[in-house]
A and B are shown apart, each in its own frame.
Chain A
Amino acid sequence: MRNKLFLVICTLLILSLTSCSSAESTELLVNENDEVASIEIEPTVEETEIESNPDSDQMVEKDQTDPDTDISAEEPPNYCIECHTDKQALIDTAKPEEEHEAENEGEG
């Protein structure tokens, strides 16, 4: 009986000691890792060199100018459309149609 009691006490003692020691060591490892991780992950700001595009300045300027003024300045006028959408211009420039007496007789 005494032997049995002794064995139980010894077993509990060993278990409790073992569990205490492992908890301490884990805690220590985690702390160490955390520090290392925080150092590695933290982003660093680095300045990147950007090549300047010679057109980009013009584009910015374009955006700031009046669009109407810009189109007329940049695109050549489409004279075909200008004239052929202008009823009065077409009337003014139309060739007079030849008027000749219709000589057809009967329904064609």
Chain B
Amino acid sequence: MAPLEPWEKVLVDNEAFAETVHGQIACIECHDGVQSANKEEAHTGLIAYPSEDPDKFCGECHPDVTAHNESSLHTNQAGYWRTLETRSGTQDHPALQEMFGNHCAGCHTSCGDCHVSQPTSVGGGFIDGHIFKRTPSMTRNCTACHGSRVGNEYLGKHEDIKADVHFRQGRMKCTDCHSSGEMHGSPQDCQSCHPGPEEGVLAPPDHRYDGVQSPRCESCHAPVTLSSDGILMHEQHSGELSCQVCHSVSYSSCDGCHVAISDKTGKPFFSLGESYLGFYIGRNANKSYDRPYEYVTVRHIPIAPTSYEFYGDNLLPNFNEMPTWAYATPHNIQRNTPQTESCEGCHNNPEFFLTIDKVDESELAANMNIIIESVPLSVAEILGSIAVQPPNHVDYSIGMCSSCHQGDNSLLISPQNHRNYANDSCEICHTKSEP
């Protein structure tokens, strides 16, 4: 995104702005300052970003939004702190706080960063002559920050990789899936949204993929969950694989980011080791009621044990407490992918799986719960190993199978992924052995 000229950042379209609700409020009501023709004098006590104090300046008219601001990840950047504290094993570490202030805090976002200006982290400047936008611009707000991974994937900016089908065919914007509650924070008690006789308090999410999936694909694609879309693979694999395992394609991974302060300019800067495209299926280390998947897509995140060494030695002694190959939800969904071409797209295809040979030796301990020990067998092998009925089944007839192969006997229970098969269809795969 090209930066705006300095004058362009602060040029007000008063003809249009004056027609809006916010245009009825005097400038100094929000920005303070002094009425003077002299710029320096006029800017005395100027509040350039009033929404940094949302309760005072936004909350008077939008109390329902500002009430939950403290729980918004855009505001509190809690995800950064969770990973820093987990890997460092400490809280309030002075060196890490300094590092955070220099390199991470700039990603903090206030109301105005989405609703009137471009985010300050990308240079700021009015989106449209200081006119407030109820819905932020996808490219000038959302992907201005979430650009290098989400934006590039979703908009199809990687060569030879198509844009996400939701954008390519549906022209869907970020806000079509991601609700304002995700952006603004949401109440931590159940009753604010679901008034009822019982009280309930939600535990704060422990990590990014904790709690209820929001958004979730099934909200729109309900037939997939109900197995009523006639697609056998949805019946066979639903619950075992996250949607992205089959419907995502190559996405970005990054290695070894290091941060420091420049000797020349005194400004903070970062140096990224390597950035590359790839598609990796790993194990889901955080299975939950809402994400029961055995396999998920994972991407390498740019952390390294020495990422913050400019600020001190051994700042991340618990580095292995979190994986470097992290559960990911790539934003390049396609209906047809190499994985959906055939069973062999995944079965017996080591290319797509995060096997031990793809993980750096220094990171093996951090990723033991993610690494795939063995690639799934080919379908022919799976069927060949179990398909033939034992010799003592020769006298059994069609329709008798579930008399024994069901219930609580773990030796005889039919696998869960067979639940949609009829009792009289067993012999299609499980042929009788030769007498």
Size bin of chain B's contact surface = 20 to 34
B304 within 8 Å of A (CB atoms): no
Contact A101 B42 (CB under 8 A): no
Interface string of A78-108 (1 = CB under 8 A from B): 1111111101001101110100111111111
Min CB–CB distance B99 → chain A (angstroms): 16
Flag B17-42 by CB within 8 Å of A: 1 or 0 each: 00000000011100101011101001
The answer on a CB contact under 8 Å between B270 and A79 is no
Cβ contact within 8 Å between B265 and A80: no
**Which residues in B have their C-beta under 8 angstroms from that of A102?**
269
Say yes or no for B254: interface residue by CB 8 A criterion. Answer: yes
A88 CA to B210 CA, complexed, in Å:
52
The residue of chain A having its C-beta at the shortest distance from the C-beta of B23 within the complex is A81
Check if B174 is an interface residue, CB within 8 A of chain A: no
B6 contacts which of A78, A85, A95, A100 (Cβ < 8 Å)? A95
Residues of B within 8 A of A94 (CB): 6-7
What distance in Å separates the Cβ of B75 from its nearest Cβ neighbour in chain A?
Answer: 21
Q: Is the beta-carbon distance between A106 and B254 smaller than 8 angstroms?
A: yes
A76 to B34, CA, bound (A): 13
Q: Does B134 touch A at the CB level, under 8 Å?
A: no
Q: Residue-by-residue, is B262-288 near A (CB-CB < 8 Å gives 1, otherwise 0)?
A: 101101011111110000000000000
Majority secondary structure, A binding face = loop
Q: Are A80 and B35 in contact (CB under 8 A)?
A: yes
Q: How large is the interface on A (under 10, 10 to 19, 20 to 34, 35 or more residues)?
A: 20 to 34
A87 and B14 in contact (CB under 8 A), knowing A79-B36, A104-B271?
Answer: no
Give A96 Cβ to nearest chain B Cβ, in Å.
8
Evaluate contact between A80 and B28: CB separation under 8 angstroms: yes
Selected from A80, A82, A87, the residue in CB contact (under 8 A) with B33 is: A80
Chain A residues positioned under 8 Å from B431 (CB to CB): none
A residues less than 8 Å from B14 (CB atoms): 81, 84-85
Q: Is there contact, CB below 8 Å, between B264 and A101?
A: yes
CB of B191 closer than 8 Å to a CB of A: no
A76 to B36, CA, bound (A): 10
Q: How far is the CB of B160 from chain A (nearest CB, A)?
A: 18
**Nearest B-chain residue to A91, judged by Cβ:** B7
Bound complex: CA A95 to CA B9 (Å): 12
Whether B31 contacts A80 by the Cβ 8 Å rule is yes
Q: Shortest Cβ distance from B222 into chain A, in angstroms? A: 37
- Known pairs A79-B37, A97-B6, A106-B257 / 13 extra A-B pairs, C-beta < 8 Å: A79-B35, A80-B28, A83-B37, A85-B14, A94-B6, A94-B7, A95-B6, A100-B267, A101-B264, A103-B265, A105-B269, A106-B270, A108-B272
- Which positions in A face B, CB cutoff 8 Å? 76-85, 87, 90-91, 93-95, 97, 100-108
